Amino acid sequence: MLACTTTHPAGFRSLPLPIVQLSLEAVLHCGQSFRWTSFPLTPDLDDEHPPTLAHEYRFCLRDRVVCLRQSHHVLFYRSVFPEQDLSAAETTLREAETLTWIKDYFQLDVDLPKLYDDWSERDTVFRSLRSRFSGIRVLRQDPWENLVSFICSSNNNIGRITKMIHALCKKYSSPLLSLEPPCPALASAPTMTPYHPFPPPSALAAPEVASQLRSLGFGYRADFIQRTAKMLVDEHGTTVVMKPMEAPERWLLSLRDMNTTQAREELLKFVGVGRKVADCILLMSLDKCEVIPVDTHVHQIAVKHYHFTRNGLKGKTIMTPKIYDEISKRLSDIWGEYAGWAHSILFTADLKAFSAYGLHEDHESPSISVVPSVVSESEGSTKEPGPSSKRKPFSATESGAYRQDEGTDLLERVKKRRRGVSVLA
């Protein structure tokens, strides 16, 4: 059994990465991805030093399960494969692939503290929250999984979406492997946990899938998922064009090469995909970092903290395409090129699950020096795609700077909510 809370856990490789660059606790629980599982790590009672590793996070890819742990300065990772007899050389090669996937998935080529500095210059609302909500970045997810997940998000919450996505994987994808929890001594821990990859479009395209998903509690979303999968399969077939990726999945990846308007138009053709869902997919899997998904929740933030008004009215407003565009433009003018990333941080700060997040932590950021690529292992050649060459590196600018001293009350609102005061209409 691997050690739970040692400084460098056995079997894990290390990537120097300050928590201000990536906070797994925040990023994996804020409603971007719904398939990560989290396991608490129990401290050794005989250890003179308190542990810095509190959780292990696991995610099932097509051919491996990726396990992550994090200290304040280091990200630890390891892969588990269904094959039991890998040579040392093959293991090294595959771990290099895992490292490439990690850097791509978490977009580690983007210097997050530099973005935080820029947003703090532009926006006093953001400045009031940056120390508590550091390390929150946008994931670069698989577009097919992201599409299905956000079809499920309609009139839903993070906990229920998570249950639905796990149920879908269990129903339509065979388990890749099973693992014991990192600390099986926990009384509540199961002996073994099976891990299922996300099913391909062909697995969800058959007519009977809709009724099966309804029986799993998907409601009206069941038809949307089945019909969207069928549209993709009918248009692009089921041929495996890049092992083990089906043709529809490969086509969805190609949307990264389109401009934002073209990619959005393609997404809006799918059943169950409206403007907000399409924009979530554009931001979280198609490299459109400027896109701000707008719903009533974001509208309320715009009204309360950025003085957004229309025709002199505040508060509850029917979300029309025109209002959607006006809010998006207003916030984009404030936050700049990576506006979608800034939006995700304020959205996270407003979630009830994060009402106490960071209140008891030391917010002093460690001294860091980040170069374009954060690497500590030999990478070699890998089969996994790297970061998109179309995504531009961030550079801070002064254009669009926003000064609104009254806007700092978002932090006060979070504190009030923690005391049980309702402050969001």
In the chain, the number of structural domains is 1
Residue partners of 304: CB distance under 8 A and separation at least 6: 409, 410, 413, 424
N-terminal to C-terminal alpha carbon distance within the chain: 50
Q: Counting beta carbons within 10 angstroms of the beta carbon of residue 245, is it exposed (0 to 12), middle (13 to 18) or buried (19 or more)? A: middle
Radius of gyration in angstroms for the set of CA atoms belonging to the chain, rounded to a whole number: 22
**Alpha helices, H only, 152-207:** 158-172
Report the DSSP pairing between strands 74-80 and 177-179.
unpaired
> Are 242 and 229 spatial neighbours (Cβ–Cβ below 8 Å)?
no
Q: What are residue 59's DSSP bridge partners?
A: 66
Q: Let me know if residue 22 belongs to a domain.
A: no
Give the per-residue pLDDT at 386. Answer: 41
- Distances from the Cα of 213 to the Cα of 173, 207, 271, 280, angstroms: 14, 11, 16, 23
Q: Let me know if residue 9 belongs to a domain.
A: no
- For residue 122, the one-letter residue type is R
Catalytic residue list contains 276? yes
pLDDT tens-place values along the chain, 425 residues long: 455 655 788 899 999 999 999 999 999 999 999 999 999 987 554 444 444 678 999 999 999 999 999 999 999 999 999 998 899 999 999 999 999 999 999 999 999 999 999 999 999 999 999 999 999 999 999 999 999 999 999 999 999 999 999 999 999 999 999 999 997 655 565 689 999 999 999 999 999 999 999 999 999 999 999 999 999 999 999 888 667 899 999 999 999 999 999 999 999 999 999 999 999 999 999 999 999 999 888 998 998 889 887 655 455 668 899 999 999 999 999 999 999 999 999 999 988 899 888 876 543 332 222 222 232 333 333 334 344 444 544 443 333 333 343 344 444 444 444 443 322 22
pTM: 0.83
> Are 281 and 146 spatial neighbours (Cβ–Cβ below 8 Å)?
yes
Query: What phi and psi, each to the nearest 5 degrees, are found at residue 322?
Result: -70, -45
Q: Let me know if residue 252 belongs to a domain.
A: no
Give the per-residue pLDDT at 12. Answer: 95
Give the per-residue pLDDT at 228. Answer: 99
Q: Let me know if residue 57 belongs to a domain.
A: no
CATH of the domain at 411: 1.10.1670.10
* Residue numbers of the domain that contains 354: 112-130+289-359+401-425
Give the per-residue pLDDT at 2. Answer: 53
Q: Let me know if residue 27 belongs to a domain.
A: no
State the catalytic residue, choosing from 103, 276, 288, 304: 276
- CB atoms inside a 10 Å sphere around CB 225: 24
Number of H helices, E strands in the chain: 15, 9
Give the per-residue pLDDT at 53. Answer: 78
Give the per-residue pLDDT at 233. Answer: 98
Give the per-residue pLDDT at 385. Answer: 37
> Are 53 and 73 spatial neighbours (Cβ–Cβ below 8 Å)?
no
- For residue 226, the one-letter residue type is Q
Q: Let me know if residue 274 belongs to a domain.
A: no
Give the per-residue pLDDT at 94. Answer: 95
State both tokens at 418.
């923690």
> Are 103 and 375 spatial neighbours (Cβ–Cβ below 8 Å)?
yes
Q: Let me know if residue 97 belongs to a domain.
A: no
Residue partners of 312: CB distance under 8 A and separation at least 6: none
